[in-house]
Amino acid sequence: MDAIDHEILRELQRDGRLSNQELAQRVGLTPSPCMRRVRQLEQDGVIQGYRAVIDPEAVGRGFEVLVSVEVKRDREAVEAFEAALQDIPDVIEAYRLFGSPGCLLRIAVADLRAYERLWIERLTALSGITEVNSQIIMKRIKEPTGLPV
């Protein structure tokens, strides 16, 4: 990747809906080579997709919680836990970590009552769980805006 590819990535992270014409103009190319570069970045897996950024409040998911979870440290328990998370749509991000806690979840629900229901009915019911700790997000200080390229 060269400097132009990096600039294409920066521009598309800022606005993934740019037309090829506008993108080409911003990075100093004509439309055809710009489109070839974008297609190559997509084929190489550098660009993995395009998404809309949605206001959580607008879709009834303005209550966010970071949850640290300890899972038994055996392969079966970890694999079962990770598979079970795929079926819980309220878990919008999940990370397996080195050290403690073993897993960090980001959960988005309507309110505290919805989170309590999720905590009781789904999270603590997962097999292999030894501990669940919740941190309610008070305020987002920095929004994800993409990777520095």
pLDDT tens per residue across span 12-47? 999 999 999 999 999 999 999 999 999 999 999 999
The mean pLDDT value for 54-69 works out to: 96
3-class DSSP state for residue 105? strand
Give the pLDDT of residue 32: 98
Share of the chain above pLDDT 70, in %: 100
The mean pLDDT value for 101-129 works out to: 95
Is the predicted pLDDT of residue 144 greater than 90, yes or no?
Answer: no
Query: Which residue type sits at 27?
Result: V
**pTM metric for this prediction:** 0.87
Give the model's confidence band at 146: pLDDT under 50 very low, under 70 low, under 90 confident, else very high.
confident
Is the predicted pLDDT of residue 94 greater than 90, yes or no?
Answer: yes
Query: Which residue type sits at 128?
Result: G
Query: Which helix (H) or strand (E) segment is 108 a member of?
Result: strand 103-109
Give the pLDDT of residue 12: 97
Write the DSSP string, 58-88.
GGT--EEEEEEEEE-SSHHHHHHHHHHHTT-
3-27 burial code (b ≥16 CB/10 A, e <16): eebebbbebbeeeeebeeeebbebb
Is the predicted pLDDT of residue 143 greater than 90, yes or no?
Answer: no
Give the model's confidence band at 127: pLDDT under 50 very low, under 70 low, under 90 confident, else very high.
confident
Contact 101, 67 (CB under 8 A): no
